[in-house]
Amino acid sequence: MRLAVSDLSFTHGAGARPLQEIGFSLDPGEVLCLLGPNGAGKTTLLRCLIGALTPSGGSILLDGRPIDSLSPRALARSMAYVPQATQPAFGHLVREMVIMGRSPHLGRLDIPGRADQAIAMDCLDRVGLAHLAERSFSAISGGERQLCLLARALAQQARLLILDEPAASLDFGNQLRLLDIIVGLARDGLGILMVTHHPDHALHAGSRFVALREGRVHGAGPVADLAQPGYLSALYGRGVRIIRDADGTLACAPLFPSPQPESRHVP
């Protein structure tokens, strides 16, 4: 399933910074990382892609069909969205939250069957949360909630995954688990669009990137381009250091200014 966005524009209203001339595509098996400073428009763009916001111009095509020509059910079968972890409104169990991902595959009056339950449990297992299946969603940690929402999206069995900062609340171990899951899903042929504030994650798991700044595409290309001298510093407006391991692995680190001698504090 191919996602193609061209010349997309949107504005939240007078005074808000608009999205302008956004264009990119995402093919099956790719992990496209969406980067950019706070307020650049990443979440707004995702919300346009999932049909929650109506663009003021441009097109969003899924296999050549405009997304607004698809029913909500057809769209949900094609595209699964993982928002940033939210506070739950209702006291669902973790297992029930994941089973909700099966909704686009059920008739209006159907209740999830054994096969749906099994798919949900498999997805929970894949994100390492099977042991929390019977816990209330409101009684698990923020990172566990994030993984639970990923499991719900996996249970949707869509060919496109749209992830909004999926690693935001995860510890180091779970960040790596998440990236492994994402790489595995891409190998299975899913297309994944992931917002991330971690260029490292893009370098490790991504195929290509799109960088937004002030509502426009600042740059795009293979993720290795993020390691070009000065690229990330220009994107974020602060010094960023690229570290290359002996085996060629790339990592980014903030470039902290050296402390001034008088600011050193000896207790």
Binding-site ranges for ligand ATP (CB under 6 A): 12-13, 16-17, 36, 38-44
Please give the Cα distance from 24 to 5 (Å, whole number): 5
Residue 37 CA neighbour count, 13 Å, CB half: 12
Please give the Cα distance from 135 to 93 (Å, whole number): 5
Amino acid identity, residue 237?
A: G
- Which two three-digit tokens encode residue 186? 């891409």
Q: Closest separation between CB of residue 65 and ligand ATP, Å?
A: 25
Q: Closest separation between CB of residue 47 and ligand ATP, Å?
A: 8
Q: Closest separation between CB of residue 208 and ligand ATP, Å?
A: 18
Could you give the 3-state DSSP secondary structure of residue 32? strand
Q: Which is nearer to ligand ATP, 96 or 214 (CB)?
A: 214
19 and 10 in contact (C-beta within 8 Å)? yes
Question: Which of 84, 93, 206, 99 lies closest to 151 in space, CA to CA?
Answer: 99
Q: Which is nearer to ligand ATP, 17 or 216 (CB)?
A: 17
Q: Which is nearer to ligand ATP, 9 or 103 (CB)?
A: 9
Q: Which is nearer to ligand ATP, 12 or 241 (CB)?
A: 12
Q: Closest separation between CB of residue 54 and ligand ATP, Å?
A: 13
The stretches of the chain forming alpha helices (DSSP H) are: 42-49, 72-78, 94-99, 114-126, 142-155, 172-187, 199-205, 231-236
Question: Which of 222, 175, 194 lies closest to 42 in space, CA to CA?
Answer: 194
Q: Which is nearer to ligand ATP, 21 or 180 (CB)?
A: 21
Q: Which is nearer to ligand ATP, 52 or 253 (CB)?
A: 52
Question: Which of 116, 143, 138, 140 lies closest to 127 in space, CA to CA?
Answer: 143
Q: Which is nearer to ligand ATP, 95 or 213 (CB)?
A: 213
Q: Which is nearer to ligand ATP, 56 or 69 (CB)?
A: 56
Q: Closest separation between CB of residue 69 and ligand ATP, Å?
A: 25
Q: Closest separation between CB of residue 145 and ligand ATP, Å?
A: 17
Question: Which of 34, 31, 33 lies closest to 19 in space, CA to CA?
Answer: 34
Residue 256 CA neighbour count, 13 Å, CB half: 3
Which positions ≥6 away from 100 have C-beta within 8 Å?
92, 152, 155
Q: Closest separation between CB of residue 9 and ligand ATP, Å?
A: 13
Q: Closest separation between CB of residue 215 and ligand ATP, Å?
A: 7
